[in-house]
Amino acid sequence: MRLKANAVKRLVLVALSAVLLAGCSAKDRSAESPQATVTPVADNNSVGDKEQAEHKDSEKEEQSAELVFDHSMKLEYAKNFQVDYYVGGYKLITISDGKKFLTVPEGAKLPSGVEEGVIVLQMPLNNLLISSTPTMSLLNAIGGLDTVTMTTTERESWYIEEVCNKMDQGELMFIGSYKEPDYELLVANKPKFSVFSTMLSSVPEVAEKLDELEIPYLLDQSTFEEHPLARVEWVKLYGAFLDLEAAAEKVYKDQVTMVQEVSAAESTGKTAAIFYITSKGVLHVRQGGDYVAKMFELAGGEYIFADINPEESGTLKMEMEEFYAKAKDVDYIIYIWNLGGKPENLEQFIGYSEIFQDFKAVKEGNVWCTTPDFFQISDTLGSMIKDMNTMVTLENPDVDKLTYLFKLQ
């Protein structure tokens, strides 16, 4: 009987072990390869959950970790933009009007935690629309003109030779003025990035249309800079957008060096009036805080209207009698040639008003004009300051050696 009881006990233990082993084996198989839950096709909630999960996984794959700050671009004069560099080649560009742009290196993932409203630009940038002519001069100076395919300035209005050649070769297209661009062309050739002057603010309907078409644009704020060299320093901003920082730094440094060479000398005490007359005969002088007035001062001269709105840039309308009273004895007249009238010689200039005959600068033959490309260039303002210095320091300057000024004969 005892043997029979032991046999039964052993059979129970064997059976119990078999059950336990079977359970463990099933548990192991479940851990290695989980069984899918069987769901009816009509269960849309489960399908949506699956798609949502897949979308989240896709987002994680597209995004990298958060941005890690490295350093900021060093600026000497410019105050209306900032470039911050981040680990991995990312750049966060901030403009004084509040717009922000994040450039993402080619092949890199979009970082997580990007602030709302930041415009993301995938590098490299190409197929650009450049409406601002000074911006075009800066891009040309750093070898970035090949990235530009559209402009809002007609061929006959350009003075930058490289731009004219590009348009003649059909590589740069006029898409209408900034006030009335051809939207069909914009849709067909959608630019990856665009730059406009602040004049775009005068046509908000165009800005709204650009937003609607999802064409990212920057408003160039260089006209609000106080120092002439700050306008040149904007070349660094566009160098950052195109990964051409080294070329931009060289362009900027070359212009700074020119200005330092002439501004280090003592002031000449020579005075000048800087102005233009519109086609309707209205005279406008540069205000005391204007960058052109400051260029002449950096060149070693004294601007006769420096006390007129010394904190303001741009021009001021002035009656001829008031102008005569203050400017008749200036040593030099610098006439902004490409606005309003365009005198070819001294006789034509005097024809604007007979009172010019009594000006000291006219009698001594010191009436100078800016070259037609004056308002299309920002990359060579240092060179123009050097020309002004040559004008006021040499008794008989070699006019053939001056690039941005010419003398009325």
pLDDT digits (tens, 9 = 90+) for 370-379: 999 988 999 9
- Write the CB contacts of 61 (distance below 8 Å, at least 6 apart in sequence): 109
pTM: 0.83
Mean pLDDT of the region 352-373: 95
For residue 5, the model assigns a pLDDT of: 40
Q: How far apart are CA 153 and CA 126, in angstroms?
A: 19
Instruction: Tell whether the model's pLDDT for residue 59 goes beyond 70.
Output: no
Q: What is the dihedral of CA 151, 154, 159, 165, to 10 degrees?
A: 70
For residue 400, the model assigns a pLDDT of: 77
Per-residue DSSP letter, 192: S
Tokens 């034509």 found at: 348
Domains 69-255 and 265-407 share a fold: yes
Mean pLDDT of the region 19-36: 37
| CATH number among 3.40.50.720, 3.40.50.1980, 2.30.30.100, 1.25.40.80, domain 69-255 | 3.40.50.1980
Mean pLDDT of the region 360-376: 94
Average pLDDT for the chain = 87
For residue 351, the model assigns a pLDDT of: 93
Closest CA to 220 of 120, 135, 315, 144: 135
Instruction: Tell whether the model's pLDDT for residue 243 goes beyond 80.
Output: yes
Read out DSSP for 288-353? TT-HHHHHHHHTT-EETTTTSSTT--SEEEE-HHHHHHHHTT-SEEEE-TTSS---SSHHHHHTT-
Which residues are 140's β-sheet partners? none
Percent of residues, the chain, with pLDDT higher than 70: 84
Q: Which residues of 272-295 are buried (b: 16+ CB within 10 A; e: fewer)?
A: bbbbbbeeeeebbbbbbbbbbbbb
How many helices (DSSP H) and strands (DSSP E) are in the chain? 13, 19
Which one is predicted more confidently, 64 or 156?
156
Mean pLDDT of the region 258-276: 92
Instruction: Tell whether the model's pLDDT for residue 127 goes beyond 90.
Output: yes
pLDDT bin (cut points 50, 70, 90) of residue 27 is: very low
Mean pLDDT of the region 292-301: 96
Phi and psi angles of residue 110, each rounded to the nearest 5 degrees, phi first: -70, 125
**Domain ranges in the chain?**
69-255, 265-407
pLDDT tens-digit readout, 181-232: 999 999 999 999 999 999 999 999 999 999 999 999 999 999 999 999 999 9
Fold of 265-407: Rossmann fold (3.40.50)
